[in-house]
Chains A and B, each alone.
Chain A
Amino acid sequence: MNNGRYYGGCDVGSTTGKAVILGSEGIVGSSLIPSEIDPEITARHALEKACASVPGLEGIQGLSYLIGTGYGRNEVPFASENISEISCHAMGAFWCDPSIKTIVDIGGQDMKAIALADDGSVREFAMNDKCAAGTGRFFEAMSRIFRMDLDEFSKLSLSARKTIPVTAQCSVFAETEVISLLAKRNPPADIAAGIQNAVGKRCFTLLKRVGLKPHLTVTGGCAKNQGLLMELRRLFQIDIAPMTVDPQLIGALGAAILASRKK
């Protein structure tokens, strides 16, 4: 990385927009905002906010190279190029911890499993982006049913005595099932454990497709869900390596790193 240059990565998701600015000293700015309807506006806002915290950087134009990623990446005309979120997540996670061999990214509306080669390149990937079950949307819906905020809900299963399975494959039917379980006065913590288990199993399926090798890390917004992390540890019988930055920013970070490697 050359002195005085700044590189940007912007991850335009359906739920949140993220941006990371890299300077010679490492990460110098970042942002995480709710997405607008127009991905271009989301990207602009996220980048402006991230750039604003970097003295000496004159906004988005001051970036030497900008890479867009995420579902809205094709709608960011001012990016120098766009790269798939798979490659960006892989790069971001590997940069934080080169011992990472497997990543499961659980975002607002999709879930991905990525297997890395020794040099951090993508060896294999699997995606579930056709169904909301097991994503941030699913957890939002569930926490509403429990009349809790997301953070509270994510910790609920930690105090479960047992797991009450939630059997529905579809998030819409799962909602009905959970409402019914709550109405029958089953302990909410146990039901929450069932919900985490259902999501965990979906991760399991995706991870099996790419091959789970240590070390494993979780990225995306759902990586902050304590109950889910505990369930994943239990299901996979493996420790989850934390990221040194906010796991929600890993995609944008990876994009910024790739930007910094452009000549």
Chain B
Amino acid sequence: MEKIKPGLSDYLEFNKYRAINLMHIGRMAAKRGPFDLHRDLKRYPWLLDLLKVNSLLQRLVKGRSGNYRTAVAMVLGGVVDGVIELLEGIFYRSDHLILHEDLLPPEIFRAMGLQPWVPELLGILLPMIVPDSMQKYLDAAENEGIPPDICSLPRATIGMAMKNAFPPPLAVVSSNLPCDGGMSSYTVIAQQTKKPAYWVDVPFDFKSERALNYFAGELKAMIAWLEEHTPGKMDWDRLKEICDKRNVMAELELDIWDMIRQRPAPMAAEAVWMSHLWFFNVNPGYDTSIQLLADLKSLTEENLATGISAVSHEKYRALLWNPPTLHYVDLLVLAERTYGVSLILDSMSFNRQPFIDTSSTDSMLKSLGSIIMQGPMARHTRGPAEMNYFPDIFHMVKHFDLNMVWVAGHIGCKNTQAMSGILQEKCRDAGIPLLVIDYDLMDSRITPKEGIQEQVGNFMENIMKARRLD
């Protein structure tokens, strides 16, 4: 089987995005000036890790070519741009900065003129770039009495708060999502920041009208609280504008999802999951997000029209369940090259309710609530499993014509761990091969990348009887 050799255009595209990333970083550095930059780097040492993003770019484009390579590079470039914008918000709009937990709608905060800052974003981005970057924060939390069995995402966030690695916000807003570890961490984080805190209550019931009304009521109360405690003021027209644009993004994404149902898939992996993760959760309603998704859609359409598959030798189509293996995010690149595994869709992207009814303020709040309640993390961590967890998995397998389910079995995700037995039985009954990778989301000391490779190799070679392509 011939090795995938990227061509000249691939090489040029790669360097173009490398340069763009450097330009974004350079622009920010120039704006800050040497004195402020030095102070920022001392205050937020994680900035140094973020600066290494081109090493991530290099790892993610390896062995990928054509529109697929461009798409991945473009998505990462968009993330870099988004991160720079976030940093600008921290540095230049700190008088509007609020710290909020990852499952609250940023649309609302932006419509209020506030600068939202989600600490978990660092926990997600940093290990992708520098695999052991979060270890010092995990250890800091553990040394202050947070047990090691708490999920490493809230644990690392607590550790960052304890080490004063966050910009000081005006207020902290959190909720009971996505899980107990995440919810409880904010008690500690609020204590550490010593700022006023507000909590939003999200019902367990994720579907009924009653539940939607309750959540919408909670969001209204949150808005009122923010208006009282911060300079933020809700601009309902602005919210409508953001939501309308988010709807445009959702349409574009659904078009892409439609196309990747085809065999072989014209687009895959980071182009699909990273684009959703960043642009829908952090930058929803941005013109740049719309443009990026439109460009992704064009690249996908072109591939589809010319019969070009994203993964050159697509032999297997996989669903990734649970957040991607953050400290070894190039796993998917390796799986493509070694076994021809195409990661079609993942649980962090798939959702049942992407659209916002912008006809009234009430309908907007209910839709935003529904997006969260019916969306990733909330839907999958809370159950009832027979209504969301399992139906989603088997729907995705069928709808996207997939061969297998990969569960990134993060040891700290107790909600997933507790479903492992049932999932194995159901997959066995349905004849769907299941791989559960035992590891920790961001602590490579638990299972290093070699250990993850071994588990994938054992599954592919022994269960799937796959031949190595390399």
Contacts and interface: CB of A to CB of B under 8 A. Distances in A.
The prevalent SS among residues of B at the interface is loop
B143 A208 contact: yes
Contacts of B142: 205
A167 B445 contact: yes
Nearest to A207: B143
A209 interface: yes
A208 B142 CA distance: 9
B268 to A, nearest CB: 33
B421 interface: no
B145 interface: yes
A167 B445 CA distance: 7
A198 to B, nearest CB: 11
What is the size category of the interface that chain A forms with chain B? under 10
Nearest to B446: A169
Contacts of A208: 143-144
Interface in B143-187: 143-145
B391 interface: no
Contacts, number: 8
B145 A209 contact: yes
Interface in B254-291: none
Nearest to A208: B143
Nearest to B145: A209
B143 A209 contact: yes
The secondary-structure label for the interface of chain A is helix
A209 B147 CA distance: 11
Interface residues of B, number: 6
Interface string A186-200: 000000000000000
Contacts of B445: 167
B448 interface: yes
B190 to A, nearest CB: 23
Contacts of A167: 445, 448
A208 B448 CA distance: 26
Nearest to B140: A208
Contacts of B143: 205, 208-209
A98 to B, nearest CB: 28
Interface in B422-470: 445, 448
Contacts of A209: 143, 145
A167 B449 CA distance: 13
Nearest to B448: A167
Interface of A: 167, 205, 208-209
Cβ-closest 8 pairs across A and B: A208-B143, A167-B445, A209-B145, A205-B143, A205-B142, A167-B448, A209-B143, A208-B144
8 contacts: A167-B445, A167-B448, A205-B142, A205-B143, A208-B143, A208-B144, A209-B143, A209-B145
